[in-house]
Amino acid sequence: MSTMTLHRPIPQTRQASTLRLTRRGRLVVLLLALGVVLGVGFALASGSVATQEAGTPEPTRVVMVGAGDTLWDIAADVDPEGDTRSTMEEITRLNALDSSMVTVGQQLIVPDE
């Protein structure tokens, strides 16, 4: 006995076309992307408030760290009436300190209030 098989034709599906860019096309896309980035950069930079005239400098003075001094002690001496933590942060900012560690003989710029 023999078996018969029927083959149905498989419907042809359309393959998605792939987009290919030539060298010139890639250059155009690159230049457009660069233009967008520069445009955003210029838009953000336009909000700058820099002027040609110098501003008024912060009143500061220099303090030398003595034996046993901590940044907390120095901040408390500089502004005894104010918030010691904010004064410590200001001293850290003025001197670009990485931590609150100070050494004997170190000169610190402190706010002169």
CATH number, domain with residue 98: 3.10.350.10
What pLDDT, on a 0 to 100 scale, did the predictor assign at position 49? Answer: 73
Total domain count for the chain?
1
Residue 4 falls inside a structural domain: no
Q: Is 16 within a domain?
A: no
Q: Identify whether 100 is part of a domain.
A: yes
Query: Could you give the CA distance from residue 51 to residue 16 in angstroms, rounded to a whole number?
Result: 56
Name the stretches of the chain with pLDDT < 50. none
Domain contains 9: no
pLDDT of residue 8: 74
pLDDT for res 51: 78
What domain range is 100 assigned to?
Answer: 60-111
Cβ-contact 92, 74 below 8 angstroms: no
Q: Is residue 68 assigned to a domain?
A: yes
d(CA 66, CA 2): 108
Assigned domain for 106 exists: yes
